Amino acid sequence: MRALVVRLDSFGDVLLAGPAVRAVAEHADHVTLLCGTQGEPAARLLPDVDDVLVWAAPWEGVSPPSVEEASVDAMVGRLRAGCYGAALILTSFHQSPLPAALMLRMAGVDRIGAESVDHPGRLLDVRHQRREGRHECEAALDTAAAMGFTPNQWDDGRLRVVPVPDTAPLTGNGPYVVVHPGASAPARAWDPALCAETVQRLADEGYRVVVTGSAGERSLTRQVSGSVALDLGGRTDARTLAGVLRFADAAVCGNTGPAHLAAAVGTPVVSLFAPVVPAERWRPYGVPTVLLGDQQAPCADTRARHCPVPGHPCLSQVTPDDVLRAVRKLIEEAA
């Protein structure tokens, strides 16, 4: 059977779908992952994915294309050509799977399943309802299981990526801590000045620090690195970043894709977690984690991209010393 897994949003979301993808692969001869442009780099890191289809859906993302720009009819044709026997649609708790289900039904997919709070009519063959308190990774596995896609008995359900490269030529030899100051949404980012002070404090305490970021974050990584850290801003693609994180003693970052990538390579995370989405659903999964930030702040559960509260109190109360203590705790516990 040829199976399709759909996860149309961001990098971290696709990484969290990885265990469910592996469960589907246990029961399928071929697995295709349909993802958005932001999720593509993560999709290409997941084990057991045979093919990746990339499509910007008109119902996903901050600036989605129009229906015409998205060429929905053309995408339906590509899916029909795939001859998929089953499709698993994965969404976050606040998203509807029904637009994707309609498209898959039009493409002739035989059996379609998803988590849905809305009445699906004839769009879903399996309608799963989320259990309370489930992490997004666990919820995806639950939805897969509802379709009969149970994981291998030896699968621990943790995040994984394909083997990572040796990144010592980039980072140099010896232990280090990664600090990733950027975030996909401003509401999830810590103040750059506090990040820079934290890097200085870590260096003063004898930790070697590596600062990471995208090409568009070079000015941020330069500011945060100062004169004491290695600045890798703009120098890593997704697979290389996975390698940099894999060989780190700990990673310091907000609720953003690299936090989930760190978890996927088994690196402990100091999570500067703004509660605009619930930590129980989105915290780094399956690795030792210290969660910092006021989870009861007024912005909690707003899903805001820009902080709606003056002063960004959920994260501004976190101090460099808090981060230093958390890093030290994680490294000592791993020793």
Q: CA–CA separation, 26 vs 47, rounded Å?
A: 12
* Dihedral sign computed on CA atoms, order 305, 310, 313, 318: positive
Say if residues 143 and 115 touch (Cβ distance below 8 Å): yes
Could you give the 3-state DSSP secondary structure of residue 277? coil
pLDDT of 312 reads 86
Say what the pLDDT of residue 304 is. Answer: 83
pLDDT at residue 186, rounded to an integer: 87
CATH number of 2-146: 3.40.50.2000
- Please list the pLDDT of the chain residue by residue as tens digits (335 residues): 999 999 999 999 999 999 999 999 999 999 999 999 999 999 999 999 999 999 999 998 888 999 988 899 999 999 999 999 999 999 987 889 999 999 999 999 999 999 998 899 999 999 999 998 899 999 999 999 999 999 999 999 999 999 999 999 999 999 999 999 999 888 898 899 999 999 999 999 999 999 999 999 999 999 999 999 999 999 999 999 999 999 999 999 999 999 999 999 999 999 999 888 998 999 999 999 999 998 888 888 888 888 888 888 889 899 999 999 999 999 999 88
Domain with CATH 3.40.50.2000 in the chain: 2-146, 168-334
Q: What local confidence, expressed as pLDDT, does residue 43 receive?
A: 98
Q: Which two tokens stand for residue 12?
A: 């971290």
Cα–Cα separations (whole angstroms), residue 126 to 114, 115, 116: 6, 8, 9
Instruction: Record the pTM.
Output: 0.96
**CA–CA separation, 11 and 155 (whole Å):** 22
Cβ atoms within 10 Å, residue 201: 18
Strand intervals (E) in the chain = 2-7, 30-35, 51-54, 86-89, 111-115, 126-128, 177-180, 209-211, 230-231, 250-254, 269-272, 289-292
Q: What CATH superfamily classification does 168-334 receive? A: Glycogen Phosphorylase B; (3.40.50.2000)
For residue 300, the model assigns a pLDDT of: 82
The span from the CA of 335 to the CA of 286, in Å, is 18
